[in-house]
Structure 1
Amino acid sequence: MSDPARTRPARRAVLRGAAATVAGAAGLGAAGCAGPEHPPPAPPEEPVTLGRAARVPVGEAHVFPDHHVVVAQPEPGAYRAFSAVCTHRQCPMAFVERLEVVCTCHGSRFDATTGAVRQGPARDPLPEVPVRAQGDDLVAG
Structure 2
Amino acid sequence: MSDTTRRAVLAGAAGVTAVTVLAACGDDAGDTGSTGSGNTGSTGGAAAGGPLASKADIPVGGGKIFTDGGGVVVTQPASGQFKAFSAICTHKQCVVSEVKDGSIHCKCHGSAFSAADGSVTNGPATKGLPEKQLKVDGDNISLA
Q: Normalising by the residue count of structure 2, what TM-score does the alignment of the two structures yield? A: 0.65
Does structure 1 retain, via aligned residues, the 8 Å contact 2:62–2:103?
no
What corresponds to 2:22 in structure 1? 31
Q: Provide the rounded CA distance (Å) in 2 between the counterparts of 1:21 and 1:99.
A: 45
Question: Secondary structure in 2 aligned to 1:27?
Answer: helix
Tell me how large the CA RMSD over aligned residues is: 3.3
Q: When you count helix as a share of all residues, which structure comes out higher?
A: 2
Tell me how far apart the structure 1 counterparts of residues 59 and 80 of structure 2 sit (CA, whole Å): 10
Deviation by residue 1:7-38 (Cα, 9 ceiling, x = unmatched)? xxxxxxxxxxxx8998566424542447969x
Counterpart in the other structure of 1:131: 134
Tell me how far 1:102 sits from its aligned partner: 1.3
Partner of 2:60: 58
Amino acid at match of 1:71: V
Larger Rg: 1
- Aligned letter for 2:65? V
Equivalence for 1:73 = 76
Task: Extract unaligned runs of 5+ from structure 2.
Answer: 1-9, 31-45
**Structure 1: segments with no counterpart, 5+ residues:** 1-18, 38-43
Q: Deviations over 1:31-54 (max 9, x none)?
A: 2447969xxxxxx79734211221
Aligned residues: 121
Report sequence identity in percent: 38
Q: Map 1:1-141 to 2 at 5 A.
A: 23=14, 26-32=17-23, 33=25, 47-67=49-69, 68-141=71-144
